[in-house]
Every structure is written in structure tokens, then in C-alpha cells.
Amino acid sequence: MSTQILSTLPPKISVVIPLLNEADNLQELYSQLKAALEPIKKSYQIIFVDDGSIDSGFEILRQISLSDPSIQVIRFRRNFGQTAAMSAGFDHAEGEVIIPLDADLQNDPSDIGRLLEKLEEGYDIVSGWRAKRKDGFVLRRLPSILANWLIVTMTGVKLHDFGCTLKAYRREVIENINLYGELHRFIPVLGRQIGAKITEIKVTHHPRTKGQSKYGISRTIRVILDLIMIKFLMSYATRPIQSFGLIGLLSFLVGFVICGYLSIGKLFFPAGVSQGWLSYLFSQTSLVERLPMLVLGVLLLLTGIQLISVGLISELVIRTYYESQNKPIYVIKEILKFEDSE
């Protein structure tokens, strides 16, 4: 009876593992996780999120789930990306602390205990820092260094390694963050927006020995694009009219001045003047010679009107976003739990 009561209590720790075609690593990862979590003496669950794998990984996870009630397996119908997989794991996590972890065995599960100890010092987010990263320099470490520098510069959140998946989050922080695109690496930034207390610790990093990396140089471009969006969200998420509207208003005013300048010259000085503030432009009476300035003025007027309109539309979209119900960014095919297996 006591075992049944304990099993119905929510776990203290939820480990979320997004994966794609990592069949060769799953058994060893499972063993390492159990060896790292058992000494902590806190209840836990391990959530594997299969992001549309086409190898035998799901069958391996199915067999593991048959004998371990702490295991939960979520399988997507297709590949939705790491952010969506991590979001699905967060949505189904029941623990007070949520810890994401890569399935490639480069993160070390033995660091989980250290993350939890640091979290208990009063922090809301503890980020892993791969100080001695075991990856190639040109394709992996150099783009990461540049991306981390950009993120720190633009957001002011001073961490060394935003790309390290191994982190510890308090549940109340994750519940207030919605993930889209490639935003999983920006969770500390989004957490800072809601007042989370953040720190980092150095974690162990191993070279990949099995399977193939899913990351390439192209990811740096996506990081930059997401960073621009994050910067906008941090500054103008709830007031986009102040961003688009300000630029649009400046453009409109400059265009208005140019067009007004041309109109006054045409109406009151049709033959041009030899002296005065209009002499430079209207000493030449040919329409062709004045056409570039006219086109510029009209273009700036139209651009200003368009940007102000975009700002107003964005205000409507933002209000709809905050007032509507959240919609998941993934589609689940099936969920395996211990009781389902029985």
C-alpha cells in the first residue's frame, strides 16, 4: 500500500532528453542516468522525447519503459526540431526541478547532482558551462564563441555557454516560458525577463563516440535570427507600435519635408531663384533633374505609412497572442508509461 501511495506522488526531479536517431547511445545513457540519480535520494522521472527518429531508438526505449516506472517516452509523428521536443518534455514534466540533457553522451549525467546543489542556494536557473568542450574548433566551438558573445552583448545575460543543453530550471520558471523556433538556448534570457535568478557552473563535456552530430554551421545563422527576435521581444514585445511607429514616423516626417520642399518650389518659385534656401534645388527647372528627390520623398512617405500600419497590426497581434490560449508546436503520436505497459 505504501509503495502505491509513493508512486502516485509527483517526482521532485524531471530529466528531459530530446533525441533524434541516437539508438547507439540509449542503453548506456540510461545506465548513466540511473547511476547519477539514485544517490540523490529524491524521486525522479526520465522523459525521452523521440523527435521523429528513423532508427531503432524507439524500440529500445519501449523495452526500457517496460521495466522502469520512472521512464516516460514521447514519440513525435515526424521531426519537429529540438526546441519542440524540449517543449513537449517540459509540458509533460511533473517535477519541481526540470533538467534537460542531450542524448549523445557528451553531457555527463553525474553533473546533475551539482546542478541541484547550486539550485538550492536560491537560484531559479543553473546553466551548464562546457569550459573544456570536446568538439571541433572551426565548425563547432568558433561559431559557439561568436554566438555566445552576440547573445551576451545584445541581451545583457552574462553566461559563457548558452548552447549547453544541461541546465536546471525551477518548474515555476519553465511554466511561464513558451518555446518556438530555436528558442531553447535562450531560456535563460527569457527567464531573466520574468525575474529569474541565474547562475552557471562548469560541467564535464565528452567527445562524441557514437552516432552523428545533428548540428552544423547553418545553426549559427538561425541563432542570429532568433537573437534579433529575442532582442525585439525584450524591448518591445508588449508595445511594438513604439518600435515600428517611431521608425515609421521619422521616415514619414523626412518624406513630408522633402515633398513639401519640392511643392513650395514648384508653386511659388516655378522658374527657380538665384539666391536663397531654394536656389540649390530649383535653379534647375527640368522635372527630370528634380525627379530623384521627388521619388525619394514619396518613397519615404509611403514607407512611413507602412511601418506605422505594421506597428498597429502588431499591436493587435500581440493582444491576441496574450489573450488567446496557448497552442502546442508539436503533434504527439503516442506516450509510453509504466502503467500502460502493464
Residue of 162, 176, 168 whose CA lies nearest to 124: 168
Question: Greater confidence, 1 or 199?
Answer: 199
Percent of the chain past pLDDT 90, that is, above it, reads 49
- Residue 1 confidence class, pLDDT cut points 50, 70, 90: very low
Return the bridge partners of 202, or none.
129
Question: Any idea what the Cα angle at residue 98 is, between residues 123 and 8, rounded to 5°?
Answer: 120
- Whether the Cβ atoms of residue 36 and residue 101 lie closer than 8 Å to each other: no
Most confident range, picked from 6-20, 31-45, 258-272, 286-300: 31-45
- Residue 274 confidence class, pLDDT cut points 50, 70, 90: very low
CA distance 324 to 342: 39
Q: What is the side-by-side strand order in the sheet with 13-19?
A: 198-202, 125-129, 167-170, 97-100, 13-19, 44-50, 71-76, 332-336
Give the Å distances, CA to CA, from 259 to 199, 218, 275, 277, 305: 55, 44, 21, 15, 15
Is 80 exceeded by the pLDDT of residue 6?
Answer: no
Strand pairing class (44-50; 167-170): unpaired
Summarised one tens digit per residue, pLDDT across range 112-151 is 999 999 999 999 999 999 999 988 888 788 888 888 998 9
Question: Any idea what the Cα angle at residue 23 is, between residues 18 and 27, rounded to 5°?
Answer: 90
Summarised one tens digit per residue, pLDDT across range 153-190 is 988 899 999 999 999 999 999 988 888 777 888 999 98
- The distance of Cα 199 from the centroid of its chain, to the nearest Å, equals 18
pLDDT at 108: 95
Is 70 exceeded by the pLDDT of residue 305?
Answer: yes
- Residue 330 confidence class, pLDDT cut points 50, 70, 90: low
- In this prediction the pTM is 0.74
- Residue 17 confidence class, pLDDT cut points 50, 70, 90: very high
Return the bridge partners of 99, or none.
15
Summarised one tens digit per residue, pLDDT across range 24-73 is 999 999 999 999 999 999 999 999 999 999 999 999 999 999 999 999 99
Question: Greater confidence, 242 or 21?
Answer: 21
- b (16+ CB within 10 A) / e for 259-269: bebbeebeeeb
Amino acid identity of residue 97, one-letter, is: V
Is 80 exceeded by the pLDDT of residue 22?
Answer: yes
- Whether the Cβ atoms of residue 338 and residue 63 lie closer than 8 Å to each other: no
Mean pLDDT of 3-17: 74
**How does the average pLDDT of the chain come out, rounded?**
84
pLDDT at 327: 53
Amino acid identity of residue 227, one-letter, is: L
Residue of 205, 123, 115 whose CA lies nearest to 163: 205
Q: At what angle do helices 112-119 and 23-37 cross, to 10 degrees?
A: 50
Specify the fold of 11-237: Spore Coat Polysaccharide Biosynthesis Protein SpsA; Chain A (3.90.550)
pLDDT at 225: 79
- Whether the Cβ atoms of residue 237 and residue 229 lie closer than 8 Å to each other: no
Whose cell is 531663384? That residue is 273
- Whether the Cβ atoms of residue 100 and residue 165 lie closer than 8 Å to each other: yes
- Residue 295 confidence class, pLDDT cut points 50, 70, 90: confident
Give the Å distances, CA to CA, from 130 to 113, 183, 204, 281, 285: 16, 19, 6, 62, 68
- Whether the Cβ atoms of residue 187 and residue 115 lie closer than 8 Å to each other: no
CA distance 118 to 124: 10
